[in-house]
Chain A
């Protein structure tokens, strides 16, 4: 479970301070698939970055499985991200010099798994997203949709508690987007908690709940 209490985030630019998140309270249960929607500049990506511990909130609390992340050191947060969280970025964020298998295996190796075990798990994850036959391909030899699937495989290979996705279909064509969303749906069916930012209504329908954000505040939460 992830619980957000009075979350605020502001950015300083010279003398001016821009408040992007203005006191958000929110709870996501384990196994939920949540879509965060809102117009551009509403603060949805910033909200995701705070929850996923990629950024430091200005104030407020984020509890993941009742652990107060505010109390964690930088290194503890890094370790927590490595073991408990998974990320799918809009632009895939794959390491260009590593092939698909190596990209997926890297966090597993860093987690301390043996090379054999890490590569086995990475192969399983890539097979799960339909890339079992593209293990040795470099990102440059994969289509955008395939790269995003590698990114998903990397995010789920270590079986994270929560999978965060920041507009995962933004750079993909319809067919690739559909494949990616079907993978998310299957993951969710398997019990994976997913929190996804999207601006596409069509894909928000894959989620159980849709959180609408505007001007740094949650305006409504809809159920599908």
Chain B
């Protein structure tokens, strides 16, 4: 009966209902997927452009990773490791526009920053940092007295002026600035400006590691951070545990990218997921009301025929099931189209062209298990929404239905 009703019903009505179910599906999956994707995009960016898969950093009570060369040798010996970048980190101040300062009383244009010494080639292999150069060029291993500066240290890219935080004005490639680290001052040239949606990139100054080492006088080659990129398919937990078993955790913190996430990021993922679910629930309610109205109108306008069916001996349950099958059909069609659009078009498109949120490149997070759960929810809701109006009409007195009596 359901098959006949759908086949012989107005095709535009069927298309419209399936369309509503399709958008309900998208609402269920995409809204929460985008909300989670905002944070996931940020998490992924931190992983890709800063921590990589595993990060080794200084213990809380140390200023650097002791026995770094040994640690680096351990890391290099692991077959799971594809690339690694060891970094030197020191707090320092930057000063710009000192040549145009007219007198000593004028406030110098300074900014505090984390000065990061890198091996440009190793860093590129791990974090692909050159991709984020927005002005000028990426560092090369022989660049002495040259730096890449994070865009958020410049007024041009972060035009805010708040107490305790200042940015450098008139910064562009070729401009000279002063760097002061532990009282040692160097004049360096801006080689490039770098910008990513990761503060650890956009708020740092990068210079060649050998030069920073000479500035801070660190001749023992002890570094402050080691980012490790693993071969595809390698579980970061496995490598973390190997490093711990090799005693690296005695001299440094060894964390996977997930371990290194601040708690608030995890809380935000949960919060956004909750928000997504709340919004999806509203979509679900709208869908169920739509199906309810559609089936109710369908059933009420066919009340006479339902009466006839009952009259000729068709059981109420069979008639109700035919309406449930109709609802199921609409939900199934909407979901199938939704799944095709989601996985064949939307997700790849958003992955290729992430949504440009201010603090992250938002992706669409739609794991298959979660999607199937939502499809199940949609099915159950629409089946209930189809059953209730069918039941209301079917249970009316048979003869009253046949004769059109109220």
By a beta-carbon cutoff of 8 Å, the part of chain A in contact with chain B is 49, 54-55, 75, 78-83, 85, 87, 89, 93, 95-98, 102, 106-107, 110-111, 138, 154-155
Contact pick for A106, options B1, B310, B311, B398, CB 8 Å = B1
Determine whether the beta carbon of B312 is less than 8 Å from that of A75.
no
Determine whether the beta carbon of B7 is less than 8 Å from that of A97.
yes
Interface residue B314 (Cβ < 8 Å from any Cβ of A): yes
Query: Considering the chains assembled together, what is the distance between the CA atoms of A47 and B140 in angstroms?
Result: 103
Determine whether the beta carbon of A89 is less than 8 Å from that of B1.
no
Could you say which residues of chain B place their CB within 8 Å of the CB of A107? 312-314
Query: Considering the chains assembled together, what is the distance between the CA atoms of A49 and B1 in angstroms?
Result: 26
Determine whether the beta carbon of B7 is less than 8 Å from that of A87.
no
Determine whether the beta carbon of B311 is less than 8 Å from that of A75.
no
12 A-B pairs with C-beta separation under 8 A:
A75-B315, A81-B312, A89-B311, A95-B308, A96-B305, A97-B5, A98-B4, A98-B8, A106-B309, A106-B314, A110-B315, A110-B318
Contact pick for B8, options A54, A78, A97, A155, CB 8 Å = A97
Q: B388 to chain A: closest CB distance in Å?
A: 20
Contact string, B6-26, partner A, CB cutoff 8 A, digits 1/0? 011100000000000000000
Determine whether the beta carbon of A102 is less than 8 Å from that of B4.
yes
Contact string, B298-321, partner A, CB cutoff 8 A, digits 1/0? 000000110011111111101000
Determine whether the beta carbon of A85 is less than 8 Å from that of B4.
no
Determine whether the beta carbon of B308 is less than 8 Å from that of A85.
no
Contact string, B116-130, partner A, CB cutoff 8 A, digits 1/0? 000000000000000
Determine whether the beta carbon of A49 is less than 8 Å from that of B399.
yes
New A-B contacts (20) at CB < 8 Å, excluding given A54-B398, A95-B309, A97-B4: A78-B313, A78-B314, A78-B315, A81-B311, A81-B312, A81-B313, A87-B312, A89-B402, A93-B304, A93-B305, A93-B308, A93-B402, A96-B305, A97-B7, A98-B4, A106-B1, A106-B309, A110-B318, A154-B312, A155-B312
Q: Total contacts A to B, CB within 8 angstroms? A: 64
- Smallest CB-CB separation from B397: which chain A residue? A55
Q: B25 to chain A: closest CB distance in Å?
A: 27
Q: A81 to chain B: closest CB distance in Å?
A: 4
- Smallest CB-CB separation from B313: which chain A residue? A82
Query: Considering the chains assembled together, what is the distance between the CA atoms of A115 and B312 in angstroms?
Result: 18
Could you say which residues of chain A place their CB within 8 Å of the CB of B315? 75, 78-79, 110
Contact pick for B313, options A55, A79, A93, A138, CB 8 Å = A79
Determine whether the beta carbon of B311 is less than 8 Å from that of A54.
yes
Could you say which residues of chain A place their CB within 8 Å of the CB of B5? 97
Determine whether the beta carbon of A78 is less than 8 Å from that of B305.
no
Cβ < 8 Å to A, chain B residues 352-391: none
Contact string, B33-77, partner A, CB cutoff 8 A, digits 1/0? 000000000000000000000000000000000000000000000
Query: Considering the chains assembled together, what is the distance between the CA atoms of A78 and B304 in angstroms?
Result: 17
Lowest 10 A-B CB distances belong to which pairs? A82-B313, A97-B8, A81-B313, A93-B308, A55-B399, A97-B4, A54-B399, A110-B314, A98-B4, A107-B312
- Smallest CB-CB separation from A111: which chain B residue? B313
- Smallest CB-CB separation from B5: which chain A residue? A97
Q: B382 to chain A: closest CB distance in Å?
A: 21
Query: Considering the chains assembled together, what is the distance between the CA atoms of A93 and B7 in angstroms?
Result: 20
Determine whether the beta carbon of A83 is less than 8 Å from that of B402.
no
Q: B313 to chain A: closest CB distance in Å?
A: 3
Q: A45 to chain B: closest CB distance in Å?
A: 9
Query: Considering the chains assembled together, what is the distance between the CA atoms of A80 and B310 in angstroms?
Result: 12
Could you say which residues of chain B place their CB within 8 Å of the CB of A82? 312-314
Cβ < 8 Å to A, chain B residues 280-294: none
- Smallest CB-CB separation from A54: which chain B residue? B399
Query: Considering the chains assembled together, what is the distance between the CA atoms of A102 and B4 in angstroms?
Result: 9
Could you say which residues of chain A place their CB within 8 Å of the CB of B318? 110
Could you say which residues of chain B place their CB within 8 Å of the CB of A55? 398-399
Could you say which residues of chain A place their CB within 8 Å of the CB of B399? 49, 54-55
Q: A87 to chain B: closest CB distance in Å?
A: 6
Could you say which residues of chain A place their CB within 8 Å of the CB of B1? 95, 106
Could you say which residues of chain A place their CB within 8 Å of the CB of B7? 97
Determine whether the beta carbon of A97 is less than 8 Å from that of B313.
no
Q: B213 to chain A: closest CB distance in Å?
A: 83
Could you say which residues of chain B place their CB within 8 Å of the CB of A54? 311, 398-399, 402
Query: Considering the chains assembled together, what is the distance between the CA atoms of A110 and B313 in angstroms?
Result: 8
Could you say which residues of chain B place their CB within 8 Å of the CB of A87? 311-312
Query: Considering the chains assembled together, what is the distance between the CA atoms of A78 and B314 in angstroms?
Result: 7
Q: A56 to chain B: closest CB distance in Å?
A: 9
Q: A194 to chain B: closest CB distance in Å?
A: 16
Could you say which residues of chain A place their CB within 8 Å of the CB of B308? 89, 93, 95
Query: Considering the chains assembled together, what is the distance between the CA atoms of A138 and B4 in angstroms?
Result: 12
- Smallest CB-CB separation from A138: which chain B residue? B8
Could you say which residues of chain B place their CB within 8 Å of the CB of A102? 4
Q: A44 to chain B: closest CB distance in Å?
A: 14
Cβ < 8 Å to A, chain B residues 183-234: none
